[in-house]
Structure 1
Amino acid sequence: MPERQSMHPDNKLIDELTQNPTPSQQSSSGGNVNRDVGKRGELNRATDPDNREPEVGSDNPAQDAKKGPKTRAAIQDERNS
């Protein structure tokens, strides 16, 4: 019996992508952001025990860049009120 020939244009690409095993998904979300904020928080807490250090946009520029102008304006308005 002859093999079927699929007319799907991406068969070659799919075959190439599925040749190797799937890589593990054990990455830490946010990279070093949590570590950086934690270090800064520990330093501030050493001098002021009531200080709680929030994550700010400059800690994660890639995530901050995804915010559009309307979102940034709303955040600033909320902070100023």
Structure 2
Amino acid sequence: MAQPPRRPRTLQDARTEAESAFKKVTAPVAEAPAKAKAIPGVREVVSLRIDQDVLEYFQEAGPGWQDRINDALRKAAGK
């Protein structure tokens, strides 16, 4: 003999469930933790896309090209 289809299990009435769902999507979002201030002189590893000709320009003078790029970016940022 075939079993009747099972009804979804509900723990609360429809109104209570709706209010609960509404509270979940309208609750204030907790603020993200404040980002720590950068420590002077500490460098961070990043991936950066630079045009080939720009990269070659800085590498022409030999070792220290990353420092030269950093100095140029610092100057452009007004630091």
TM more than 0.5: no
Higher relative contact order (CA 8 A, sep 6+): 1
TM-score bin, normalised by smaller chain: under 0.3
Greater helix fraction, Structure 1 or Structure 2 = 1
TM-score, normalised with respect to structure 1: 0.26
